Structure 1
Amino acid sequence: MIPQDVRAALEAVSLNPAVTPDDVWRPSPHDVPELHEKVVAEILRGVGKARTDDTTVPLGVAMQGRAGAGKTHLLGAVRGRIQREGGYFFLVDMVSGKTFWESVALALVEGMGRDAIGWGTQLRTFLRRLTAQLGIPAEVRDAVAGTKPVTREHLDTFVRALRTRHREVGRDCQDTARALVLHGALDFEAQDVGYAHLISEPGDPLGRTAWGLTPAIRTPQQIVQDVSRLMALTLDPTVIAVDQLDTLFAQTSTAMFDQDAGLEDAQAKVVGPIADGLLKLRDVTRRTLIVVSCLPDTWELLTRSAPTPVGDRFRQATLPDRIPTAEIGRAIVAKRFTAAFAGPRFAPPYPTWPISPEAFTDAPALTPRALLRRVDRHVAWCRDRDEATELDRLIEGADHVVGASGPAGADHGVGASGPAGAGRGVGAQAPGDPDTCDDVRLRQLDDRFAELVASADVAAALDARTEDEHMPTLLAAGLAAWIAEQAPTGASYKYDPPPGRKPALHGRLIEVLDEATENEAHWCFRAIAHPNAIAATARVKAACTMAGLDRELPQRRLVLLRNGPWPTGKRTTEVLAAFDAAGGVRCGVVEADLRVFAALRELSGETPSVLREWLVTRRPASSTRLFATVLGDSAGATRAATGQVSAGGEADARAGTGRAAAHGTSIPLGRTTDGGQPFAVDLESLRRHTVIFAGSGSGKTVLIRRLVEECARQGVSAIVLDPNNDLARLGDPWPEPPAGWVPGDAGRAGDHLENTEVVIWTPRVNAGRPLSFQPLPDFTPVRDSPDEFDQAIRSTVEALAPRAGVDRPTKLAQQGKAVLTEALQAYARSGMVGLPGFTEFLAELPDGVSRLTRADKLAQDLAETLKAAMVTDPLFGGVGSPADPGLLLTPSPGRRARISVISFVGLTSDQERQGFVNQLQMALFAWIKRHPAGERPLGGLFVMDEAQTLAPSTGQTACTASTIALASQARKYGLGLVFATQAPKGLHNQISGNATTQFFGLLNAPAQIDAARQLAEAKGGRLPDIGLMRSGQFYVAGDGFAFVKVDTPMCLTHHPKAPLSPEQVVARAGAAQLRPERSHLPDATAVR
């Protein structure tokens, strides 16, 4: 056990690597200015221009950075800097392209209630500064600023002075000026009148008249313009930051893809309104800098697809992809640890303890989020094992372990007694009986929780006058506990902390579906207890806007909490009907649930040592009626409903991976890059085909090999086309275990080599193992069955007709086909076999074989045409084993699977290869129709490397049509196709479009990177670092999941850097024919 002070210090560490937009508004003691100093300087230059010049509009700033680079944290730092220098800051969560102006207007209203430096809120600060110019009495200034009750006379005095000093602005914006004062007033009814005006709701006409507002309702765009013009009168600059574009674009693209709509439709619905809105926002505001925070891919999509030149109005500022230096990485952690350790008054040996200073040499390989996540995992490991151990390395998989005592083969970073990279133990004591101690502490926590529930007073959260203050803190406590209770599921959640004054929402749960694209699912909560119909309506409308409620975006949900009936006014009924139609949920909230949340809030403040374990085992938040109703099924079903799993970038690809097949068979293909969770793909999902987009050095060949090997281990045979001689070693053992293996791979390799036979075929190379197409089968087995014999004849004639030139609808061709049929029937009944013999039979056609008058002449022409085909195409009826799919896919007795590697060493031109593949695919299609997989999850694999040469996106090859036909039809018979290419747009779109599972690896050429990103966007994904990925890393999208970033393992069979030479391939294939049945396999024990 570790000392109590050390445990208290570790318990105090809460790194929260994934901040939420609400964190922008909180002072951060963790800011490291050096991390983003260049981007901050660019923003501050724009702010300076807005402060000093009201005649020109400064260029906006497009702040771009990959997921985890610190964009949201940087906005918080900018907010603090702006406010300290007297400016205003507003954050727009762009939740819908349809409600751009509503979102901006509501952001300004909400932002007014946020704290500022000086007079409390930004609204009060603004009103104090404005009234100081107007020469009005102190009593009026206090009333307008909201520190004393306001009257109609106070408002009239304020507006007269405003119109006198600023004639044009006062005239145009007088209603909005009155509404801002009322919004900040002490009187609740006055607040409702002002709030309704600011969100463009009609509100109470009598109330408007009573406070001097005109009947005209301002549009959201006019509200934004009014507020900006009024704030500019104080001569202080404003920053409006637009966030959440990545989430919006990802959600929209996914939804449109699921509805089989094109990406262009999704872009037209979202990109156009947002681009137009950004340009107009810049035009209608005064002394204002617009900052857009997004991923590079999002900005590229916005500028490329927008109908307006939005890119010309913004400067681009890019955050570094990685932490610049080890010193900055050390400072990031030290600042957080210093703040955490201050509470328990713990003095660590050095500022970053228990992360060794030497570990930060790895920091430049990580984003800030990835660094904090790695540190957080180590701290959690220390807490869970009651052992404080220093971490020597940050990069898992290449960690230097000092003094670790875990068992051999401890997997992926955490062993039995220490994480990968763990070094010296600190402060260890002799352990007692931890299970007994923990049980006692859990029972003590049960008692304490019961006490807190019994004593909780939650009446204020259900009171319309105080719900905005009390309900958010209770929901935040409940959501935080609910998230902790989901830890065993592996899903990634976060929640919005309690918001500012008068919020549109009282709580938000966020599930991270795809961290690389910042795709998320939201559950928003808003309590509305107000009995007044107008007030309730305004709150519903604001909540819908802030939540982005939209039937077309199922990832966004809004739950309205109300005990008792809703008001029945006409406007309220209309708004609630629209809410219900958009997918909103209305439910009550009982006091018992709120008391649980209040108790959890208190427990969190007390930070008992076993709180995490207690939450997981007791699940108090999940057991509440509210969360059981709203989150019980929805959260778990989100991934299936949206086609997502957590993934990407340095994503939390935690919940899964491809789902386990119904038959319990799946293909393990590595681990997710950040969460380190196992990643697997359903065997059955491979029926719906796979495509791999990856360039040189990506690990594409290794992935192909591992996929084929793992399928073979499941009893699935494969035909593998090998254009580059790097797949012919699929039966070779490694001389020694390679570095890229994961625990258990040695056993898997032995199992594969022992039970899989690998056969190398060399079409047109007789010295190897030649392969040819024998169009004439041996008819002996079916001669005694008239129906089967007739079917075999017709099938053979159809295969021969194109070669004999009688497949056309002309009269002469049809006569020739009739002679061909009659001649083949006679030849088959005679017991003779083989195409050469048949051509001789045709050349000297016996009497009586055909009923046609010109049969002799037609038969001679057929014979000559078939002989010419044999000369020009040696594969047609030539030397070698028949290219029978049954032979290629059927293992010998005692073997589980056969891998037939077809080498192209004898097919020297693309035309020859395409012709061979065309014939093979036609034969394969005919064979699988007769031999479907049935109930088996997968009947076989057909693997095509360099697939763009077989079915290119432009033009036609000899095998384009057969490849497309096979891709569209093979799945129903259980044959899975695997296409691999270095040119994403070089492959025919009907091929990639028919592939459910898609891998994206490292690409080098800018054109190919752009093509891959466009393909990913069509599936609702992003590839932010496709040009920077390591070998063996792939983004994967597939059946039931989207864009998981995966580290794939090394293949099970020997794969040196250099491929075999053509001579080596031929020699290997030829030698195999001379050995006994099982002797072509190398010694399987070599890797055991």
Structure 2
Amino acid sequence: MNEQEERALRAVSRVLDWATTSEHAWNPPPFHVDGMHPRAERLILDGIEEASLASRTSPLGVVIQGEGGAGKTHLLGWVRGRIVQAGGYFFMVDFSAGENFWRRTTSAMVEDLGRSAGGPGSPVQALVALRSLAELAGTGDRMEAAAERGAGLTRKDLDALVDGLLARDRRLLRCRDTIRALALYATASGHALDVAHDHLMSTEEAEDGDRQAWGMGKGVKDHHDIAVELSTILALTGPSVIAVDQIDAILGHSRAGTASGAQAGDEPRKDVIDEIAAGLMALRHATQRSLCLVACLPASWSLIKERAIGTVQDRFRTSLILTTLASADIARSLVERRFAVAFEDAGCTPPGPLWPIAPDAFATAPGLTPRTLLRRISAHVETCRVEGRATLLERFHQDPPAPPLTGGAPAVSEADLARLDARFAGLRAQADPSDAFDPAHEDELAPPLLAAGLSAWITEQGDAGRAFSVDPPPGRRPSLHARLRQELDPDSEEQRHWTFRMIGAPHPIAALKRLNDGIKESGLGPEKPDRCFVVLRNQAWSDGPATQARVTHLKDCGGRALTLRADDLRVFDALRRMAAEQDPEFDTWLRTRRPASGTELLGGLLDALPPEATPDTQEQADALPGRGGGAVIPVGRRFDTGADLELKVEALARHTAVFAGSGSGKTVFLRRLVEECALHGVSSIVLDSNNDLARLGDPWPAPPPGWGDGDAEKADRYFAETEVMVWTPGRSRGRPLTFQPLPDFAAVLGDRDELDSALGLAVAALAPRANVNGASAKARKGKAVLRQALEYFARAGGGDFTSFLGMLADLPLGVSQIDRADQIASELGQLLTAATINDPLFAGHGEPADPEQLLTPSAGKRARVSVISFVGLGEDARPGFVSQLQMALFSWIKRNPARGRPLNGLYVMDEAQSLVPATPRTEALASTLTLASQARKYGLGLVFATQAPRGLHNQIAGNATTQFIGRMNSPTQIDVVQSLARARGGRADRVGRLEVGQFYTVSDGIPETLVRTPQCLSHHPADPLTEQEIMRRAAP
């Protein structure tokens, strides 16, 4: 491949970004192909024209439906351009950050008023609106004079603006405060900008008299009223488009929240759907000259139509469904326009306008989504670059070849590396980040610096970075300074977010307001593990109770409060300048040197992805516990070829279901699965319902039948490197497990952040049992007293739970400022005492059920297998115990994700049908569904085994990527497993005639295959253990 071809391929790779984000809506690339979705474009243009011609009313809304990758967000970028041409305004409401409809809508309108909709160099929308309003009010000259003075608007300028507009239309009287706030928001800075922002965001004023100084009332209007008033004001000057995006994210979050609450089910909560539906209806009804545009998955809109208020669908035009590419010509235009821009920017002339794509290849494009088409082309281009040989892509309907394992990118010359190293060092030395720490400048300087660092970090991840994106620059007085998104599922468009906000304000009230704004905008919440809000502050937080409560809430919900090193900002500033220079080798230099990943902020926070594998690094990674995409475990020998069937360790993170009846070999299979994981350094928690798994620590007295070549050596290594701990909740003679609600306060007294985190965990554990986890006034006061009592107890040296109960019974003076705090504390103590009586496992004697202890091996061992025997628990007590264990496990994996490891641990639930049956509902169901839907994000593998798949809750099997089906004896159960097999493309037609150890296997990339599974490495005689034998194995 010659130099010109390499330059052309490098340029092409930069325009093949298939992960369309909100950046494409605000700064769309010049690749739009008219006619790709003609019906959608026509209805949207009709709506914009209707809104432009109307005086007050809004047209019917338009729904854009489409699967992931069909072009919904790209189309919104086209819409933004069209509404700007019509002299209007564009707002994009992203619901991936939260559920409150009107708060999200108003926040988006305010944020987007601070953005430019007309492209680089054009004024922000708020300033465009202000100039038009000033002309209507007859104060245009006055506004221009104020701009020339450079001192901003005065109170008299605002009075004149409001008086002029009221003279035209007295109906604007109710909007007069919002007119003043909009004018300040467009022009002011510093404290005046804060005053405007607080009004627009329905926030109390920071100091008495702040708003009065600008002629505004002190009262706080709700989000709905602000949105309506902004629309009324803007309608005086032009039409608007309000694009509602990421509704699918609300439904996904509400589904996950339901799983951890009281009413788990297949669908999102009804109240969430009602809120969306009511909001959409009111949005069209209450706004003026505004086209409401909804972009969502077809399943989401169907759910709203079926379950919500009937009039919602009457407020929108017939739904549109964006599908796959309709013709070869459209596909060719889509690619040719991108390539033309790339070749022009690179200054090269390739062999043809579509090179390296064969012209006939586009005949195979119809039926693909635009995203899939671009992904196939990108894979081909990268393969050409890595191999150093350009070939033509002949067809799209084939899996792209995997590029050779060489680091994922062409090598950059040592001379280019040295040149860019020197440039980076020089820019880094010149950078002065001090102003970014100044609260007066942080909103201006922090966003581009953080965006530069995050964008560079994405590039450093190579192909893995394709799943990440950075939001476009925020508007004026932003609540957040940056947002990083990771696409978790391209089909459902599920995302994980990291949001960032610098807070340098020294005044406690100002700092708290910014913290509250950031928490709301980030979408952070106790049931949203895929949202992380990172607050960057280099000075201590106020010791005031309000501030400390919010910082604690931040950490309890998975957020972080970190300091930011000036050197990190120097790196980000240097990377920002280098990116602007567009050196052709910059991206390859980033992937080689990884400067952003080396910063303290991003290196410590975003290390969930390992560097791209090379032969050397892959070998080193595979040697670490649980690491290495190449790590495999044998699951059996195929009947059709006689070859060994292996399963990648990482596949277990997407969960496993084992359906097999009595005498099928299920227990042997489960044990061998746990043993093979242990050999890769993966620890396990195993629930033993039938006393037949506690022998995982017993070696065979002699090599058993069924062992293959090398199994004897594997067994020796398993017992040398693995420790098996048997736990006996409910039996003090063994190794009892209990749920201790109080952490070791003494260990964290020296660290304020650690103490806050420990207090948050303690409150979360005790509040439900003390009946103070509700929203009533009584519950909120009770929770406040509980927290203050815990903090006093911790600072006094702590102690056991009995000592804490004693303190609650006689609360010392001054512990709490709440009226009758001593009586409230006494009642809390009584309720908690009752909890210890009713549930012996709560605060009882024994080891705390700490997942860290259950999964962490002792020094010198690679893995720990924690077998939890139910011998001490009655049938009725088991679901409650499992529920508490799983909630603790879920909290632990959120704090300890896999961080580059394909598997963080294994959780095995045998006889799952007794713990999470289809009916009746048990206490363990909600936490099990939460784990099943969320654990894969954090690298925890779940294994559910059952003899009765018909009796198992249907969502359990549905969340398992890998399935093993062994012999079934009941005709009813045979029908169930064969139905499950057919759903995965198999038949399992011999399931009633299988022999011991024979299993049908299906997983990603593995169609239904019949295998004979190997014998386990630990001793497995025919009879289960007796209670006495279990106690002997559990004894410390």
TM-score normalised by the chain length of structure 1: 0.57
Secondary structure of the 1:291 match is: strand
The change in CA–CA distance for 1:415 and 1:164 in structure 2 (over 3 A counts) is closer
Secondary structure of the 1:343 match is: helix
The change in CA–CA distance for 1:279 and 1:347 in structure 2 (over 3 A counts) is same
Please say if residues 65 and 295 of structure 2, whose CA atoms lie closer than 8 Å, have aligned partners that are also in contact: yes
Tell me how far apart the structure 2 counterparts of residues 715 and 152 of structure 1 sit (CA, whole Å).
74
Please say if residues 279 and 313 of structure 1, whose CA atoms lie closer than 8 Å, have aligned partners that are also in contact: yes
Whether 1:91 and 2:92 are equivalent positions in the alignment is yes
Instruction: Give 2:401's aligned residue.
Output: 413
**How far has the Cα of 1:191 moved from its partner?**
0.9
Whether 1:114 and 2:115 are equivalent positions in the alignment is yes
Tell me how far apart the structure 2 counterparts of residues 952 and 523 of structure 1 sit (CA, whole Å).
36
The change in CA–CA distance for 1:490 and 1:202 in structure 2 (over 3 A counts) is closer
Please say if residues 175 and 229 of structure 2, whose CA atoms lie closer than 8 Å, have aligned partners that are also in contact: yes
Please say if residues 428 and 573 of structure 2, whose CA atoms lie closer than 8 Å, have aligned partners that are also in contact: yes
**How far has the Cα of 1:510 moved from its partner?**
1.3
Tell me how far apart the structure 1 counterparts of residues 948 and 460 of structure 2 sit (CA, whole Å).
40
Counterparts of residues 808-823 of structure 1 (less than 5 Å): none
Secondary structure of the 2:443 match is: helix
Tell me how far apart the structure 2 counterparts of residues 291 and 334 of structure 1 sit (CA, whole Å).
29
Instruction: Give 2:388's aligned residue.
Output: 386
Secondary structure of the 1:114 match is: coil
Which 10-residue stretch deviates more, 192-201 or 568-577? 568-577
Give, as a single letter, the amino acid of the residue that structure 2 aligns with 1:200.
S
**How far has the Cα of 1:369 moved from its partner?**
0.9
Counterparts of residues 343-492 of structure 1 (less than 5 Å): 343-397=345-399, 413-414=401-402, 438-439=413-414, 441-487=416-462, 492=467
The change in CA–CA distance for 1:1045 and 1:243 in structure 2 (over 3 A counts) is farther
The change in CA–CA distance for 1:246 and 1:197 in structure 2 (over 3 A counts) is same
Aligned-residue Cα RMSD (Å) equals 4.5
**How far has the Cα of 1:352 moved from its partner?**
1.9
Tell me how far apart the structure 2 counterparts of residues 88 and 103 of structure 1 sit (CA, whole Å).
17
Instruction: Give 1:243's aligned residue.
Output: 245
Give, as a single letter, the amino acid of the residue that structure 2 aligns with 1:230.
I
Secondary structure of the 2:499 match is: strand
Instruction: Give 2:321's aligned residue.
Output: 319
**How far has the Cα of 1:1049 moved from its partner?**
4.6
Secondary structure of the 2:91 match is: strand
Deviations 1:114-163 (A, max 9, x none): 21449612111111112212223612455489976211111111111122
Give, as a single letter, the amino acid of the residue that structure 2 aligns with 1:351.
P
Deviations 1:1017-1038 (A, max 9, x none): xxxxxxxxxx9x99799xxxxx
The change in CA–CA distance for 1:505 and 1:680 in structure 2 (over 3 A counts) is closer
Instruction: Give 1:542's aligned residue.
Output: 517
Please say if residues 57 and 287 of structure 2, whose CA atoms lie closer than 8 Å, have aligned partners that are also in contact: no
Please say if residues 596 and 602 of structure 2, whose CA atoms lie closer than 8 Å, have aligned partners that are also in contact: yes
Give, as a single letter, the amino acid of the residue that structure 1 aligns with 2:255.
S
In the alignment, which of 294, 312, 331 is matched to residue 310 of structure 1? 312
Secondary structure of the 1:150 match is: coil
Instruction: Give 1:18's aligned residue.
Output: 19
In the alignment, which of 509, 531, 551 is matched to residue 556 of structure 1? 531
Instruction: Give 1:158's aligned residue.
Output: 161
Counterparts of residues 870-949 of structure 1 (less than 5 Å): none
Tell me how far apart the structure 1 counterparts of residues 542 and 383 of structure 2 sit (CA, whole Å).
52
Deviations 1:594-625 (A, max 9, x none): 11122223333455565455434433222211
Counterparts of residues 573-588 of structure 1 (less than 5 Å): 576=551, 578-588=553-563
The change in CA–CA distance for 1:194 and 1:146 in structure 2 (over 3 A counts) is farther
Give, as a single letter, the amino acid of the residue that structure 1 aligns with 2:427.
L
Instruction: Give 2:36's aligned residue.
Output: 35
Secondary structure of the 2:357 match is: coil
Tell me how far apart the structure 1 counterparts of residues 307 and 627 of structure 2 sit (CA, whole Å).
32
Whether 1:529 and 2:529 are equivalent positions in the alignment is no
The change in CA–CA distance for 1:573 and 1:279 in structure 2 (over 3 A counts) is farther
Instruction: Give 1:631's aligned residue.
Output: 606
Deviations 1:76-130 (A, max 9, x none): 1001011111111100111466422111111111111121449612111111112
Please say if residues 668 and 679 of structure 1, whose CA atoms lie closer than 8 Å, have aligned partners that are also in contact: no
Tell me how far apart the structure 2 counterparts of residues 200 and 594 of structure 1 sit (CA, whole Å).
33
Tell me how far apart the structure 1 counterparts of residues 77 and 942 of structure 2 sit (CA, whole Å).
54
The change in CA–CA distance for 1:683 and 1:200 in structure 2 (over 3 A counts) is closer
Whether 1:268 and 2:280 are equivalent positions in the alignment is no
Please say if residues 12 and 343 of structure 1, whose CA atoms lie closer than 8 Å, have aligned partners that are also in contact: no
Tell me how far apart the structure 2 counterparts of residues 154 and 666 of structure 1 sit (CA, whole Å).
81
Please say if residues 459 and 587 of structure 2, whose CA atoms lie closer than 8 Å, have aligned partners that are also in contact: yes
Secondary structure of the 1:206 match is: coil
**How far has the Cα of 1:443 moved from its partner?**
4.6
The change in CA–CA distance for 1:261 and 1:217 in structure 2 (over 3 A counts) is same
Deviations 1:522-550 (A, max 9, x none): 00011122334554444333322321121
In the alignment, which of 114, 130, 133 is matched to residue 136 of structure 2? 133
Instruction: Give 1:331's aligned residue.
Output: 333
Whether 1:210 and 2:213 are equivalent positions in the alignment is yes
The change in CA–CA distance for 1:164 and 1:679 in structure 2 (over 3 A counts) is farther
**How far has the Cα of 1:1045 moved from its partner?**
11
Secondary structure of the 2:317 match is: strand
Please say if residues 593 and 625 of structure 1, whose CA atoms lie closer than 8 Å, have aligned partners that are also in contact: yes
The change in CA–CA distance for 1:361 and 1:351 in structure 2 (over 3 A counts) is same
Please say if residues 202 and 223 of structure 2, whose CA atoms lie closer than 8 Å, have aligned partners that are also in contact: yes
Gaps of 5+ in 1: 398-411, 419-433, 637-655, 670-676, 692-706, 717-751, 756-936, 943-950, 955-970, 980-987, 1002-1026, 1034-1043, 1054-1088
Counterparts of residues 138-153 of structure 1 (less than 5 Å): 138-140=141-143, 143=146, 149-153=152-156
Please say if residues 64 and 295 of structure 2, whose CA atoms lie closer than 8 Å, have aligned partners that are also in contact: yes
**How far has the Cα of 1:632 moved from its partner?**
3.2
Deviations 1:849-905 (A, max 9, x none): xxxxxxxxxxxxxxxxxxxxxxxxxxxxxxxxxxxxxxxxxxxxxxxxxxxxxxxxx
Instruction: Give 1:595's aligned residue.
Output: 570
Instruction: Give 1:919's aligned residue.
Output: none
**How far has the Cα of 1:55 moved from its partner?**
5.7
Secondary structure of the 2:469 match is: strand
Instruction: Give 2:997's aligned residue.
Output: none
Secondary structure of the 1:33 match is: coil
Deviations 1:998-1053 (A, max 9, x none): 4699xxxxxxxxxxxxxxxxxxxxxxxxx9x99799xxxxxxxxxx9956558689
Please say if residues 242 and 292 of structure 1, whose CA atoms lie closer than 8 Å, have aligned partners that are also in contact: yes
Please say if residues 64 and 316 of structure 1, whose CA atoms lie closer than 8 Å, have aligned partners that are also in contact: no
The change in CA–CA distance for 1:512 and 1:459 in structure 2 (over 3 A counts) is same
Please say if residues 438 and 610 of structure 1, whose CA atoms lie closer than 8 Å, have aligned partners that are also in contact: no
Secondary structure of the 1:272 match is: helix
Whether 1:992 and 2:954 are equivalent positions in the alignment is yes
Which 10-residue stretch deviates more, 465-474 or 681-690? 681-690
Sequence identity percentage: 37
Tell me how far apart the structure 2 counterparts of residues 58 and 240 of structure 1 sit (CA, whole Å).
12
**How far has the Cα of 1:288 moved from its partner?**
1.2
**How far has the Cα of 1:332 moved from its partner?**
1.1
Gaps of 5+ in 2: 611-625, 640-646, 675-705, 710-905, 912-916, 921-940, 964-981, 988-1001, 1012-1036
Instruction: Give 2:50's aligned residue.
Output: 49
Q: Aligned pairs, how many?
A: 693
Instruction: Give 1:2's aligned residue.
Output: 2
The change in CA–CA distance for 1:142 and 1:223 in structure 2 (over 3 A counts) is farther
Tell me how far apart the structure 1 counterparts of residues 943 and 196 of structure 2 sit (CA, whole Å).
66
Instruction: Give 1:731's aligned residue.
Output: none
Please say if residues 683 and 938 of structure 1, whose CA atoms lie closer than 8 Å, have aligned partners that are also in contact: no
Deviations 1:763-782 (A, max 9, x none): xxxxxxxxxxxxxxxxxxxx
Tell me how far apart the structure 1 counterparts of residues 138 and 262 of structure 2 sit (CA, whole Å).
63
The change in CA–CA distance for 1:146 and 1:77 in structure 2 (over 3 A counts) is farther
Give, as a single letter, the amino acid of the residue that structure 2 aligns with 1:13.
S
Secondary structure of the 1:513 match is: strand
Please say if residues 280 and 312 of structure 2, whose CA atoms lie closer than 8 Å, have aligned partners that are also in contact: yes
**How far has the Cα of 1:378 moved from its partner?**
1.8
